[in-house]
Each structure stands twice: as C-alpha cells, then as structure tokens.
Amino acid sequence: MIEVEATHITTRREPRALVAEVFPGVFVVDGGGVHSVREAGRLFEPLPVSDEPRTFPISDYVVLLAETQDAQLRELEQYEADAARRRARNG
C-alpha cells in the first residue's frame, strides 16, 4: 500500500472523492477505480490550491492496475502516431 497526493476531485460521484494522477494521464480514485485521461475531462476537476496535505492510500493491486493502464495508454499513443505518419505519407 502507498500514499498518493490528490490532484483532482470527482464531479459525478456523491459524496465527491479525491483523485490522484499517479502516471501522466492515469488517475486513481480514493476508494477504488482507475481511469485514463480520455475519461478524466468529464469525471474529474482539479482540486483548488490548499496548504493542507490531501493524501489517500491505494493498494498494491490498484497500483498494478494503474501501471497497466499507463502501458496501454503509451501503446495507444504510439499506434495513433504511427497511423498519422502513414496517413501523411499516403496523402
């Protein structure tokens, strides 16, 4: 189990929950759930600035899910970049 610093808060969940961006574009919700940046725009909003620490624990299993999501996002970004290069080459 590790402690993460909250960077966002949920917008469509009551009660609202803290959210941490644990990898670029990969978010973990306090209480469970791993989401990609593709979903984040409608599910989360940035936390307002505060001097208070806002951390929460996540389990090793959730860390593993976040690592998997991070790898999948990087693969998808590479696929999209390759596809764009192919389209540009083919006119």
The confidence score (pLDDT) of residue 6 equals 92
Domain locations along the chain: 2-90
Q: How confident is the model at residue 90 (pLDDT cuts 50, 70, 90)?
A: confident
pLDDT tens figures, 25-73: 888 889 878 888 776 667 888 888 887 889 888 888 777 777 787 787 7
The pLDDT score that the predictor gives to residue 79 is: 79
| Residue 82 predicted with pLDDT over 70 | yes
**Section 8-18 average pLDDT:** 83
Residue that is written with structure tokens 């976040």 in the block: 66
